[in-house]
Amino acid sequence: MNKKEREKKTQIFAIVILIVFVTVTFLSVLIR
């Protein structure tokens, strides 16, 4: 039961990191 919850949390965490990474890259390009 706990394994599925942990997998979901890891997926959400990965998506959040991806969004942050894309946002930072986009801002860096904009500042240039």
Dist. CA 32–CA 18, nearest whole Å: 21
Whether residue 1 is predicted with pLDDT greater than 90 in this model: the reply is no
Query: pLDDT over 70 for what percent of the chain?
Result: 97
Apex CA 12: angle with CA 16 and CA 24, to 5°?
A: 10
Dist. CA 4–CA 1, nearest whole Å: 6
To which residue do tokens 């894309």 refer?
22
Look over the chain and give the mean of its residue pLDDT values, rounded to a whole number.
94
Dist. CA 32–CA 23, nearest whole Å: 14
